[in-house]
Each structure stands twice: as structure tokens, then as C-alpha cells.
């Protein structure tokens, strides 16, 4: 009885097949090895803030004396035209990542920006700063170029513009023909002057030129608050008398002296005062936005280099960072895009196009080198390198 019970229990037992019997035979000897994710130790994770994998500094076999890759650049005139034409990158033909409105904004901003060239950029392209200064003086004296200096900007405030572009800005400013003719005559009579003395232009012409952006107030030797010490001086120095200003509605333009109050407060007495000989500085419309854009672009390039371990990077890698890792149009990228795989961001979503309106890498590199922020050197192995000074 007991034997029958034991036999019945064994026969009714359900046995599951082992895992080894379900495995398929594999030709690879590594098939049965355990699969584990690689462990990232402290040595591999402590430097994750750096965006490159260079464990050592780049070799330095000598600085690059000139950034110009075009051998036709032999003088300042050619360098100015080269810099002016290389500021912007071409629009991508497809998949720009920008709608029609954004495209119009980018093109409009480029059109409004004046064709200025900083003197330091020209010096970075050519070999000798002394030769550049000598040629600039000759071209300015000959009426080919015009030198514009913006105070408070240091070496960055020294800019050059061709007289052809200057005259184009003047003719498109909406000024009366008589005012334009007189102003051009003053510029031709004093090609080296950075400003205009008293008596060279009338007060009415000066007001019109200041509103158009071609003149700015020269800093007087006296304080502008002196004109408001007495009601008599204030009434002669402002567009409206103090009595009229006090009776104007609060919050209106009349309450602050009208839209000409700044001009009358800073320039009328400068025009009539005996101290000093320079009443106005020659300027260019749009010079402020131009300098602001260049300053931001140079700071961004330095920040990209600062993310590297030794604050240096190969020029090709730095260019990729400036471009923002955009997709390229080769056959491999097209195949990955058709498969639905990631192939880089669209140009319109990068900082190059969102903030800097498509400014080219070579142009901002020349600006940074000329300003003394970075330097370019030969590595001997990976081409040119760029480091922060």
C-alpha cells in the first residue's frame, strides 16, 4: 500500500523544465556570461563638468601670427572688405528651424546694422600692427576710410568704415539734401578729425544730424547742472522755461522739457560756451547695437573655452560648439533622419541664430584675438588650437 502511494505521488508530480534546457545554443563563447552595466567610479565622474576628454594640454609649437587664410589679403583696404563680408553665415537651405517671421527679423537686423570694422580685427588678420596703423592713416587722409571712435570702449571703440558706406548711410537717413551736402563737405575738409568744432555746422543742422545719429555731444569741461542754478540760466538753456515746465502735466514730455530737453541741456551751452573747442563727435547710426552684439559674442566664445579642462580647445572642436551641434547635410545624416534617429539640433534653435543672428565663427574668433581675449597656436597634431589668455 505504501509502495503504491509513493508511486502515485511521484507520477503526479509536475516538473518544470530547467532554464538551461530552454536556452538556445549560441556560437559565441560570451553568450553565457552575466550582463552587468559598467560601474562609473569616482575617477570617471569627478570631471563631468568638462565637455572634452583631453587629459593633457595641447602641444604648442608656436603662435599663429596672422589669422588670414586668404593669401590675397595684403593691405588694410582688402582686410576691411574681407571682414565686412565675413560677418554673417549663409542661411541653411532647408530645415532652418525658423519661421518666416523669425527669418525676416534676422535679415532686418543684419540690414540695419552698419558696416563697421574694428581696428583690432584688422590687426589680427594682418601681421604688423605698426604697418596697419600707417596704412589706416594714409587711407583716412585720402578719403577712402573714416575712423570713428566711441568713448568708454577702449580699443574696441576704434572702428573703421568706408566712405562709400558712410555716404550710403547718410543718403538713406532721410536728412535734407542741403544738410547732407554741408555735412559731407565738413567731413571732406577734415578727413582726420574725430569731431566737429564750433561754428562748422549751424545749430539747426546739428540738431538734425544728432537725431539721425551722425553726431553725439562732446563731453564739456563744465557740469550740465550749472545751467539750472537760476531760473534765468535754465530758461536760456532749455527748450522750455522753468515756469512752463512746472505747469505741465505730470508724466508728460512737457514736464521734462520736451523731447529736445536732452539735446538742449547738453549741446546748446556746449555750442555757445567758451570753454573747449570740440562741440560734437562724429558717430554712426547703429554703432551702439553693433558694439553690444560684438561684446556679447566675444564673451560667449570665451565661455565656451572656459568649459574645457585647460581653457583651450582645438579650433575645429570650438567651431562645433559655436555652431551648436547642428545637423549636417551629408548622406549619413540624411539616412539617420529618415530612420527617425537624432541627428543634431536645427540651426534656429541654437544660440548662434537665436542671440547672434547667424554670426560666423571665423569672424568672432578674429574679434576675440584682436581684443586680446584668446590666442591661436599650432598644435602640430590636431591643427590649430585656441586658448583663453
Query: Measured between alpha carbons, how far is residue 120 from residues 65, 145, 254, 309 in Å?
Result: 14, 15, 44, 28
Which pLDDT belongs to residue 147? 94
Which pLDDT belongs to residue 46? 43
Residues 233 and 319 occupy one common structural domain: no
Residues 265 and 142 occupy one common structural domain: yes
Residues 91 and 215 occupy one common structural domain: yes
Residues 110 and 194 occupy one common structural domain: yes
10-residue mean pLDDT profile of the chain (389 residues): values are: 50 54 50 50 44 71 78 85 92 84 94 94 87 93 93 83 94 92 92 88 90 82 39 41 58 53 44 54 92 95 91 91 71 62 74 93 94 91 89
Which pLDDT belongs to residue 347? 83
Task: Outline where 143-282 has alpha helix (H).
Answer: 163-171, 177-189, 203-212, 231-237, 242-246, 261-263, 269-272
Identify the CATH number of the domain in which residue 305 sits. 1.10.10
Residues 106 and 203 occupy one common structural domain: yes
Would residue 54 count as lying in a domain?
A: no
Which pLDDT belongs to residue 249? 61
pTM: 0.70
Which pLDDT belongs to residue 328? 55
Residues 122 and 177 occupy one common structural domain: yes
Which pLDDT belongs to residue 176? 92
Which pLDDT belongs to residue 49? 52
Q: Which domain holds residue 307?
A: 289-388
Residues 341 and 298 occupy one common structural domain: yes
Q: Which residues are within 8 A (CB) of 273 and not within 5 positions of it... i.e. 6 or more apart? A: 220, 222
Would residue 193 count as lying in a domain?
A: yes
Which pLDDT belongs to residue 14? 57
Which pLDDT belongs to residue 221? 40
Q: Which residues are within 8 A (CB) of 109 and not within 5 positions of it... i.e. 6 or more apart? A: 357
Residues 279 and 297 occupy one common structural domain: no
Q: Report the number of distinct structural domains present in the chain.
A: 2
Which pLDDT belongs to residue 377? 93
Amino acid at each position: 500500500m505504501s509502495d503504491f502511494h509513493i508511486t502515485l505521488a511521484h507520477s503526479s508530480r509536475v516538473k518544470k523544465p530547467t532554464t538551461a534546457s530552454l536556452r538556445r545554443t549560441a556560437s559565441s563563447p560570451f553568450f553565457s556570461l552575466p550582463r552587468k552595466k559598467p560601474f562609473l567610479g569616482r575617477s570617471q565622474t569627478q570631471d563631468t563638468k568638462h565637455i572634452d576628454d583631453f587629459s593633457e594640454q595641447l602641444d604648442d609649437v608656436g603662435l599663429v601670427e596672422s589669422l588670414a587664410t586668404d593669401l590675397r589679403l595684403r593691405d588694410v583696404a582688402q582686410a576691411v572688405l574681407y571682414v565686412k563680408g565675413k560677418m554673417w553665415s549663409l542661411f541653411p537651405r532647408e530645415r532652418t528651424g525658423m519661421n518666416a517671421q523669425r527669418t525676416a527679423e534676422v535679415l532686418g537686423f543684419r540690414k540695419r546694422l552698419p558696416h563697421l570694422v574694428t581696428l583690432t580685427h584688422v590687426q589680427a588678420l594682418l601681421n604688423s600692427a605698426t604697418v596697419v596703423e600707417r596704412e589706416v592713416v594714409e587711407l583716412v587722409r585720402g578719403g577712402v576710410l573714416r575712423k570713428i571712435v566711441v568713448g568708454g570702449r577702449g580699443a574696441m571703440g576704434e572702428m573703421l568704415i568706408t566712405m562709400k558706406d558712410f555716404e550710403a548711410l547718410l543718403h538713406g537717413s532721410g536728412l535734407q539734401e542741403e544738410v547732407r551736402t554741408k555735412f559731407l563737405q565738413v567731413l571732406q575738409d577734415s578727413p582726420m578729425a574725430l569731431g566737429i568744432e564750433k561754428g562748422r555746422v549751424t545749430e539747426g543742422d546739428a540738431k538734425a544730424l544728432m537725431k539721425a545719429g551722425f553726431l553725439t555731444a562732446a563731453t564739456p569741461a563744465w557740469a550740465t547742472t550749472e545751467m539750472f542754478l537760476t531760473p534765468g540760466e535754465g530758461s536760456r538753456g532749455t527748450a522750455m522755461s522753468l515756469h512752463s515746465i512746472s505747469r505741465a502735466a505730470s508724466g508728460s514730455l512737457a514736464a521734462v522739457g520736451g523731447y529736445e530737453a536732452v539735446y538742449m541741456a547738453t549741446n546748446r551751452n556746449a555750442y555757445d560756451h567758451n570753454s573747449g573747442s570740440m562741440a560734437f563727435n562724429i558717430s554712426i547710426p547703429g554703432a551702439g547695437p553693433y558694439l553690444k552684439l560684438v561684446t556679447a559674442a566675444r564673451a560667449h566664445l570665451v565661455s565656451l573655452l572656459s568649459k574645457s579642462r585647460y581653457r583651450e580647445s582645438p579650433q575645429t572642436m570650438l567651431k562645433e560648439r559655436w555652431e551648436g551641434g547642428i545637423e549636417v547635410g551629408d548622406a549619413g545624416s540624411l539616412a539617420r533622419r529618415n530612420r527617425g534617429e537624432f541627428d543634431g539640433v536645427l540651426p534656429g534653435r541654437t544660440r548662434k541664430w537665436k542671440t547672434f543672428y547667424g554670426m560666423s565663427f571665423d569672424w568672432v574668433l578674429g574679434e576675440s584675438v584682436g581684443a586680446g581675449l584668446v590666442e591661436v597656436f599650432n598644435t602640430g597634431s590636431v591643427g590649430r588650437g585656441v586658448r583663453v589668455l
